[in-house]
Amino acid sequence: MDRFVVISGCSGGGKSSLLVELGSRGYAIVEEPGRRIVREELAHNGTALPWLDAVAFLRRAISMSLADRDAACSLEGWVFFDRGLIDAASGLQSISSEHVLEPLALEHRYYRRVFLTPPWPEIFLTDPERRHGFDLALSEYSRLLDVYPSLGYEVIILPKTSVAERADFILEKLEHL
């Protein structure tokens, strides 16, 4: 959809903080599916966790991303997604034999420009919901840097600046259309 903007990139690169900033400015935001799934699974002693059953986790992330897109159709203006369908589908395809990326990506388009947070080791932190290290974050970033352009998206790398400046950068890029 031409109003659905993806903010993706390296884990621990500041995506969630950026989404909070955009939300505080009145824009609709959609929290990362992965973090929501991890919270739910931990609360209910589930196993669809990236460190226990990555395939089940990514299948849930795909389902949640599709539901998020459906729900966002009723929102007005720009809608900013912290990751989403393409991240989950490309992750699943990279670790399994399931070829889900292209069919899903073609049927459920986002805005043509995708904003990626680059690796930023100085702010990378692990927490109960993000247990992987920086090496895995780099690998994921590299995959996404290839996947989005292969699907026809223009990738814009966000500068390593303050959260407010990053939000201004995105909004300026969207304004100049």
Cα-to-chain-centroid distance, residue 23? 16
Domain that holds residue 158: 4-175
pLDDT value at position 1?
67
> pLDDT confidence of 21, banded at 50, 70, 90?
very high
pLDDT value at position 155?
97
Q: How far is CA 10 from CA 38, 65, 95, 116, 150, in A?
A: 18, 18, 18, 7, 18
C-alpha 7/C-alpha 58 separation (Å) is 18
Nearest-5° angle of CA 100, CA 103, CA 104?
Answer: 75
Mean pLDDT of the region 152-156: 96
Q: Extract the runs of DSSP E, i.e. beta strands, from the chain.
A: 4-9, 28-30, 79-82, 113-117, 154-157
Dump pLDDT digits (tens) for 82-141: 998 999 999 999 999 889 999 999 999 999 999 999 876 675 567 666 666 667 777 889
In this predicted structure, the answer to whether residue 161 has a pLDDT above a threshold of 80 is: yes
To which residue do tokens 């993806």 refer? 6
Mean pLDDT of the region 24-50: 94
Of 6, 129, 112, 26, which Cα lies nearest the Cα of 68?
6
For 136, other C-beta atoms within 10 Å of its C-beta total: 13
Q: Output the furthest CA–CA distance in the chain (Å, rounded).
A: 47
> pLDDT confidence of 10, banded at 50, 70, 90?
confident
**CATH code where residue 102 lies:** 3.40.50.300
pLDDT value at position 83?
93
> How many domains does the chain divide into?
1
Mean pLDDT of the region 57-62: 96
C-alpha 148/C-alpha 6 separation (Å) is 10
Tell me the percentage of the chain whose pLDDT exceeds 70: 91
Within 13 Å of residue 83, how many CA atoms lie on the same side as its CB?
Answer: 28
